[in-house]
Structures are given as C-alpha cells and as structure tokens.
Amino acid sequence: MGNGPQISLQLSTRDHMMEEVKLMGALPSLYSCRVEWALTLKGIKYEYIEEDLLNKSSLLLKHNPIHKKVPVMLHGGKSIAESLIILEYMEETWKQNPLLPQDPLEKANARFWAKFADEKVAFPMWTAFLLKGQEQEKAMETPLQALKSLDEDLKGKKFFGGKSIGLVDLVVGWIPHWVPVIEKVLGLKLLGADSFPSLYAWTERFLNVPFIREKLPPSDRFPYCCMVENPSQNCLSFSNASMRHGRKILSCLKIRARELRLDLGLNSQRRSVGLTLGLLSTQKEKREREKAVKSALEAMKTLDEELKGKEFFGGERVGFVDLVVGWIPYGVPVLEEAGGFKLLDADAFPFLHAWGERILNVPFIKEKLPPSDRMLAYAANIQLKASPTHQPQDPYERANARFWVKFTEEKCGLSIRTAFYSAGEEREKALKSALEEMKILEEELKGKEFFGGERVGFLDLVVGWIPYFLPVLEEVGGFKLLDADAFPFLHAWSEISQRSLN
C-alpha cells in the first residue's frame, strides 16, 4: 500500500475534525451540560446556541425532528442527537483526552454504567421528583437503589473513569449539582455521606475540577426544567422553595400566556381599579359605584366564560392569567363584606366561583395570601378616612382628579405592569418610564402626608394599589422601583398605607 491514499485519508479526517462545531443546548439541561464538559475537556471550539424549549426553534426541529430535544451537535453542518451518542461521536472524532478506556472490556463497562445511570437514575429521579407524597416515595426507590450500585462501582476510585474524569463521570455529573436542589425543594436528604460514602466524596472531588465548575448550569433555572419536562405539572405548587425562582417561572409562563389571551387578564386587572374605587366610594357617588359594579360584573362574566370546561385559566395548571386575576377569590369577598353586597355569586359565575375555591387551595397561592382580616381592616380604614368629598366638587379639581386617574392607569401603572411582564430592552424602557412617572407622583406628594393633604383623598385611592401590590411585583419581578432615597415622600406614604394593612 502506498502512502498516497493514507495521507489523503489523514488530511480528510483532519479537515473533518476542524469543521465548525455548534451545540444546541439549554442552560439547565443535564444532557447538554455533559456535552459541553466533553467539548471543553477535548479542547474543541464550538458555538453554543441556547434553545428555548418552551418555544422550540425551527433549527432544533430541523436537526432533531424525531425527539425535538437538546442537545444536538452540528458538526460541519451535519447533526448528531442524543447526548450519549454525541459523546461517543466526539470520542471517535477527536481522540485527545479520551473519555473511554482503550481496553475493550473496560470500555464496555463504562458504556454499561453510562446507560445504567441514565436509565435508572436520571430519568426515574426526575419522574419521581414530579410526583407527590407516597407515590413519590415509592418512585424514588429505583434511583436510590441505582445510586447504591454506582456507589459500589466507585469504591476505591478517584473518578468513575479511574484517575481522571471519563464518560461515566460526565454522564452522572449532574448529580452533585442538581440533587441538592431537588433535596431543597422536596425538603429531604437523598445523597448523604453515610448512605453513599464513595459517591458523596466523589461529588466534592468532581465539583472541584475547574472546567466542570465553570460550566455548571445556573440552578435558578430549575423550575424551567420542570416546566419543560412536564408542562401539565402545576409547577407553581412545588413548595416555598420555588417561590424564590418565581421570576423564572413567570418568564416561562409568560411565553405560554400569549396563547392564554393575556389581554383578558390585563383588562380585568385594569377594571379592578374601577371596581375597588367604585366599591369604596360613598353614597354620593352612587352612580359611579353602580357603573363600576356593572363593569366588574361584565368582566367577571367574560372570565367565567373563559374558564368554562377548564380547571385553571392555564388549562390543567395555574397559568399566567390565573396569577393576574388571582386576587379575585380573596379580594372580592373582602370588598363584598366591606361594601355589604354580593358580586361573586356561585349561580351567576359557576366556573369562576369553582376556580376561586380551586386556586385558593393551590399550596403556593394559599401560603402567600394576605390575611383577609387585614384586608378587611384596610378596606374599612380607607372608607373611614376617605373624605365624603374625595371626588372633588369643583369642576377644575374634578378635571385634575380625572387627569391623575388617567395618568396612573395609562402611564405609571402601565409602565410598572409592562416592566413586570417584559424582559430585556423592553423591560429597561418600561422601568425608566416608571421611574420618571413615579417622580411626578413624588412631586405631587411633596410635603404632604397623603395626596389629599392631611386625609386620604381621591388620588390616594387611585394609586392605593402601590403600597401592597408594587412590593409583590418588585419581589417576583426582581427589580426595585420604590426606593426610599429616590422617592422619600412616596415611600413614607406607602409605609403609612402599609401600616393600615397591619
């Protein structure tokens, strides 16, 4: 055999090795993470393409039409799907820093454990996590038993791959990072030093390897994984722990909200201002109040229709609109009591009424409800403090009042809501507008206790949602608007209003 063909073969292999590598992944995915580790270990340059699994790109669907999952590797334009297959492909294409041993028996062993770990730990543990109570306990037995076998295999070794990280280490590499998150959310211990001594010691060793540590997925993306893996799961009801990840959950839900006719929620929210105002008005504004009640009833009818045949606005689980109109089942009864009338009637709004009971029993919602006695005190307090003439009689003053209602609804309120619902540039823009508009309110309040002077006035009612609603939006949205230094008067006013809630 001459040298010619061999040389040309080597050249083409080399060319192939040098071809462009792209990786389609998702930040929290334990499957794409292992491929990234392998790429780093082998020193292969690649372009990372983050995939939104709740809104899959045409690129993903084109390159993985069968599973429609990440990771997918593109090498010289050709696609390879399924993480274990990608790792094997990489091993055969780029020989440096091998993931598998040379010896055929050892190689077969490593492949066995990698397959075993995916089939018996990763998938079952994930499935178990999404269950509840006894079902969960039972389902957790398989992955825990499998971890025991992995612990045995690891005995006396530094890594599964021996002295250095190999295929099995990368495959089970999600464990040290994700299991503690799962433990935190479920409030139980799965991977202890006593029950899994070798595995436990390995987790610390593994996480201390610099290139592993640097590529760990952010753990606040955890609820996102749950949403992707099981969209029918009511991921909001996990536990308190998930509340800390509220922002991410909301941003996931937001994507779905488009399908859920987001406008419905926003409109009803806007009407709620009218409703609150209407109900808290005095007899003098009877007509105003009747108008507000009528519009509230219409809005509730629309909501009732929308709910027909569904458990939640989001379908089988709590969705975005459920969160937006979630104040109704606890807020309306308070207003009913304060105002002495009935709105949320079970006969008139059967679906809305049933939904109200359902949503108040979702653990995450239940735990975060403001106590209704405080709500009642607040409503009563405002009624008491509000001057009977809080709707000014003077035409100019009335025009002024109308101006402020419009301003808070169309400017300040809208900017704050937009900031909450949006992201990126749009959010930045909305936050900037909100700050400017709050500055205007601050000016209006300067030197006064209430917008109405010494007593609660019309504008106090109009912007009365700020003290109790803005902090919630700030916490969940992860932004700060009502800063005490920037808005000393607005802040003090908000504190007074909050005190009347306590």
Ligand X SMILES: N[C@@H](CCC(=O)N[C@@H](CS)C(=O)NCC(=O)O)C(=O)O
Residues that bind ligand X (CB under 6 A): 26, 29, 31, 53, 68-71, 82-84, 228
According to DSSP, residue 221 is labeled G
Residue (51 or 322) nearer to ligand X, CB: 51
Compare residues 84 and 435 and give the one whose CB is closer to ligand X. 84
| Nearest distance, CB of residue 29 and ligand X, angstroms | 4
Least separation in angstroms between residue 325's CB and ligand X is 29
Determine the residue with CB nearest ligand X.
69
38 vs 84, beta carbon nearer ligand X: 84
Least separation in angstroms between residue 54's CB and ligand X is 9
- Which secondary-structure segment (H or E) carries 32? helix 30-41
State the minimum distance, in angstroms, from the CB of residue 435 to ligand X. Answer: 38
Give the nearest distance from C-beta 217 to ligand X in angstroms: 10
* 34 vs 271 by CB, closer to ligand X: 34
H or E stretch covering 73: strand 72-75
The secondary element (H helix, E strand) that includes residue 435 is helix 424-445
198 vs 230 by CB, closer to ligand X = 230
The β-bridge relationship of strands 47-50 and 21-25 is parallel
CB of 59 vs ligand X, minimal distance in Å = 13
Burial of 226-245, coded b for 16+ CB within 10 Å and e otherwise, reads bbbbbbebbbbbbeeebbeb
Instruction: Give phi and psi for 47, each to the nearest 5.
Output: -105, 130
Name the residue nearer to ligand X (CB basis): 86 or 266. Answer: 86
Write the DSSP assignment of 206-238 as a string of letters.
HHTSHHHHHTPPPGGGHHHHHHHH-TTS-GGGS
Shortest separation between residue 40's beta carbon and ligand X, angstroms:
18
Q: Which is nearer to ligand X, 127 or 383 (CB)?
A: 127
Pairing of strands 72-75, 78-81: antiparallel
Helices (H) and strands (E) in the chain, counts: 27, 4
Q: How far is the C-alpha of 183 from the C-alpha of 56, rounded, in Å?
A: 29
72-75, strands of its sheet edge to edge = 47-50, 21-25, 72-75, 78-81
Q: How far is the CB of 100 from ligand X (least distance, A)?
A: 17
Which residue number, 271 or 317, has a Cβ lying nearer to ligand X? 317
User: How many Å apart are CA 320 and CA 313, to the nearest integer?
Assistant: 8
Among candidate residues 173, 169, 140, the one with its CA nearest the CA of residue 153: 169
State the DSSP code for 371: P
Q: Structure tokens of 211?
A: 């290139």
Identify which of 502, 486, 498 has the alpha carbon closest to the alpha carbon of residue 436: 486
d(CA 496, CA 463): 13
| CA–CA gap between residue 146 and residue 92 (Å, rounded) | 29
User: Rounded distance, CA 217 to CA 124, Å?
Assistant: 21
Q: Which amino acid is at 378?
A: Y
Q: Closer CB to ligand X, residue 178 or residue 493? A: 178
Q: Is the peptide bond before 333 cis (omega within 30 degrees of 0)?
A: no
CB of 68 to ligand X, least distance (A): 6
Q: What gap in Å lies between CA 369 and CA 365, rounded to an integer?
A: 6
CB of 136 to ligand X, least distance (A): 20
Smallest gap, in angstroms, from Cβ of residue 317 to ligand X? 16
> How does strand 78-81 pair with strand 47-50?
unpaired
Backbone torsions φ then ψ of 78, nearest 5 degrees: -90, 145
128 versus 470: smaller Cβ distance to ligand X: 128
C-beta closer to ligand X: residue 122 or 430: 122
Q: Which is nearer to ligand X, 83 or 276 (CB)?
A: 83
Whole-angstrom Cα distance, residue 394 to residue 391? 9
User: Please, what is the minimum distance in Å from the beta carbon of residue 69 to ligand X?
Assistant: 3
